[in-house]
Structure formats: C-alpha cells, structure tokens
Chains A and B, each alone.
Chain A
Amino acid sequence: MSVAKSIAAALGRLMREDRLSFLGLAVLTLLVLIGLLGPWLPLGDPTRIAAGPRLAPPSWAFPFGTDELGRSYLPRVVEGIRATFLLSIVAVTITAVVGSFFGMLAGYFRGVTDHFVARGADILFAFPAIIVGLLVAAMMGPGQVSAVAVISIATIPLFIRVVRSVTLSVAGRGFVTASEVAGATPWRIMTVHILPNILGAVIVQLTYAMSIGMIIESTLSYLGLGVQPPQASLGSLLRQGSAYLTIAPWLVLSAGMVLSLAIMSVNLVGDAIRDAIEPLKGRALK
C-alpha cells in the first residue's frame, strides 16, 4: 500500500519535473507490455503467408503493410520487439551477474586478483563486438544462443570496469573497515556491505548494457548471424525490409522506428535513474 503510494508519488514528480524521462518510461513500459502480450493480441499470425497482397502499403487491415510473402508486418514487428527485448534481457542478466561478481572481486581484493580481472576485461574490450560475433557465429552457428553470447561478451568488460570502480570507493569506507576488524569473511563483506551499496550503479549500468545489447542483437540479426527466419527480431526485419527499401519503405521505417524508440526509451530511463541516484552533482554554485 505505502509502497504503491510512494511509487505513484515518484511517478507524479517525474512527470512534473522531467517530462522527457517520463515519456521514456511510458514508451518503454508500452513496448515491454506489447512484447509480453504480443502472441495474445488480436493482430494476426506473424507467420501466415499470403494473408494479404505482397508488399502492400499500410492500410486499415495491415497497419504496417505486408512483406514480400504477403505476411502482415505489424504482428511481425511485435514479434520482433519480443525477440529483441528477450534476447537482450537474457544476455544482460548474464552480464550483470558475471560482471558484478568479477568487478566486486577485483575492486575488493585488488592486488593480483584485480590485475588479472582488469587485464581480462581489457582483452575482451579490445575486440569489436562484430568480430566477436563473426567468431562466435562461426564456432556455434548463427542463432539466438550465439546472439546472447555475443551481447554478454561485448557488455561484460564495461560492467566489470564500472562495478570495480564503485566497489573500490565503497570498500574504502569506514563500515567496511569496521567489519573487517570485527573478523567478517570476504563473502559477508561483499554481500552485506558492498553489493547493497553499489546496486544503484549496477542498475544504471544495466540499462546502458540493455541498449547496447539491443543494438548488437539488431546488428547481428541484420547481418544474418542472429535470429533465423521465419522467426523475426527487429534486426532481421530491418535486413528483410532493406531489400525492398525503394518499393516498400514502410518495412524498414516501421522496424527502424520501433528499434530507435526502444533504444531511446531505455537510455532515457537509465539517465533518470542515474539522476535520482546522484541528485546533487554540480549543484553548489547556481
């Protein structure tokens, strides 16, 4: 009850003071809802061939038009949202767990542990995501698992760096020292004292990783290394539509706009969370 109230109050404040973030949150919520409920929405079957004429422009029957096989494009875009979000969320969750673990190890133990973790992250960081993508796709074959692996590999180094640096600053605080002197185990210090205090930074980083993940997923699918037909993701829809860019631009436009909206809304929400966590930055002499 009181939680619901305070969330409502926070949302109200956000709407009044930061319209842009509020808009981002609204768009993101809408997209996630559409993605979740997609299969049950009365939009038609995304895989039904010849549901209408081929490459038809948007109309009441087919709001986003139809593709070259006469499939209605709206349910395909909805399926694309679902696939893109799902893959990114799975990948970023893996990233968050693995990245936070190694980042905390490096930041808390420092010394040799830090040396190895930081160098490892640097090495991963040195490869562009696309090269990693080609490599992984070549080894594991294209598909969803490869896409998840590539997103994780590409975002883990960023995560490790951020978690490591916030851990370094938290580990220097008095309550950690006091706990060490009391004889606490490193496990206890990391779970009781460090993790709850870096959670804010982790969540912010999570949203950034999420938007990077969506970009990588789309890129891979666009290159044909991600989601395989007949399944759709926003990236594979872009690829499919780009072949008919001149005669049926609505295909690329609809998938591209939804993708841009998704990435923008995730970033806006990330910024809003960051502002909420560090509200007083640069406020002294106004």
Chain B
Amino acid sequence: MSQPVVDLQDIVVTYRAGFLGGEAFDAVRNVNLSINEGETLGLVGESGSGKTTLGRVCLGLLAPTQGAMRFGGAPFGKLRQRRGQLSVVLQHSEWALNPRLRCGASVDEPLIILGVNAEERRKRVAAIFDSVGLGDGYVDRYPGQLSGGQRQRVSIARALVTEPRFIVFDEAVSALDVSVQAQVLNLIMDLQQKYGFGALFISHDLAATRYVSHRIAVMYRGEIVEDAPSERFYGTPDHPYSQMLMSGLA
C-alpha cells in the first residue's frame, strides 16, 4: 500500500469580504481527501465550486481557516521549506511561462531556488526537455515562438525538473486543441509511470479528467459530493450532480 503524499483533514476555507469583518463565505467546507504517491486524483466541478481554492491549499499557497494539511506524513510547514517537493502546471498556456525568459531559464528556475550547481542544472534541464518530448532546440527559445501545446510541455518540464512528489494540474489542458490535449494527457500519464509523483488534476472537463485520473472527486458548492474510482464515471455515478456532469458526455 503506497503512502498518502497529501492528506487533507477537515479543511475549511472562509473568505471574508472587506478589510475587517464583513460577510463571511465558506469556499471550501469540511473537505477530507488524500492523494497517494503515483496516484492522480481528479477534481471536477464548475467555476465557483471551490476547486481552485482547494488546489491552492494543496500547494501551500493558502492556509486553511480550519483543518490541517499533511505532506508526506508530516505537517506542511512553510512553502520555502518544501521547495522542490511540489509544483504546479496551470492553464493559459500564454501566461504559464514568463515571456521575457527563454524556456530553458524558466525550467532552470526551480533548480536555482533549490541551490543546485550550474553543471548539474544544465544536465537536468537537458534531460527533462528530452523527457517531455522537446529537443535541445527549445531550451533557447522564447515562449512566444512556441505553440500552445509546446508551451504546456515546457510548463510540465518546469514542474518535473526537481522530481517533486506532488504536482497540481489546474485546468492544464483546457485551452488546448483536441489532438494536442491527447498528447499532453498521454505525456502526463507516461511521466507519472516514470517518476511516480502524486497528482491533483483540477478541471471542469470530466472527459479529460476521467481519462487521466485514478480517482475522481466531484466538488459542488465547496463540498466533495462524490469521491470514487474513475471507472464509476464511465458508468453511472451516485450523486445527482455527478450524473448531471455525466449527461454532458452522452
């Protein structure tokens, strides 16, 4: 039995409107979730359902109002102490990479932050470009010279270069063309086989999520209303909201 890499216990996130006091609203309510090494958990729901907020909690960017996040069996602590252990791949391929940096420099950055020496960094950057199916030629290019699918490959390379234990994919394939989407989804699955990271795949697209995930959690108004193996979502899931999402796939 593999270890949970991320373990969320009774997470509540409350947003307050205004500077002091103001109206409070629970974006995430009593969420319990755990993600194992080598496992992908899909998180689906509409915008405003709290899935992005939950993703930020898993990345340590947002401290939950209540509850605790454990990472690799220990309390999460500070993001800076966890550097190299987790990463993220985001939507909007045109803004996922700093347009002023060459792709190689973007991928290099997590290693610089980790304090890896220059020689080693150069080797690892070259190797990871190879792993995501981009040749040497891409290291010196700027993001503006790349297609959406290529930019997303560079984003994945940047996320993987430190060989983290956990990666969040937030709408990572939503902006891509169908054929490119399939390439990137296959790449994510192959890389997971190779590196064994745990993953949270956040998307409003149930079809892509079902394809790439082992388990799927359905979020509705801040709560997880269903958490089941992906196979359930090829048949009839339990919760009425899940069934409604499924109807879009018929």
Contacts and interface: CB of A to CB of B under 8 A. Distances in A.
A115 B59 CA distance: 26
B100 A182 contact: no
B214 interface: no
A197 B99 contact: yes
Nearest to B100: A196
Interface in B1-37: 19
Contacts of A115: 19
A115 B20 CA distance: 12
Given A181-B79, A182-B109, A173 B95 contact: yes
B98 A182 contact: no
A197 B98 contact: yes
Interface band, chain A: 10 to 19
Interface string A138-155: 000000000000000000
B49 to A, nearest CB: 20
Contact of B158 (A178, A185, A188, A197): A178
B45 interface: no
B162 interface: yes
Interface residues of B, number: 32
Given A174-B90, A181-B79, A193 B61 contact: no
Given A178-B87, A178-B159, A183 B113 contact: yes
Contact of A174 (B84, B92, B109): B92
B155 A184 contact: no
B97 interface: yes
B155 to A, nearest CB: 7
A33 B83 CA distance: 52
Contacts of A192: 98, 101, 109
B88 A188 contact: no
Contacts of A185: 80
Contacts of A193: 98
A174 B83 contact: no
A175 interface: yes
6 contacts: A177-B61, A181-B61, A182-B162, A183-B113, A192-B109, A193-B98
Interface of B: 19, 59-61, 79-80, 82-84, 86-92, 95-101, 106, 109-110, 113-114, 155, 158-159, 162
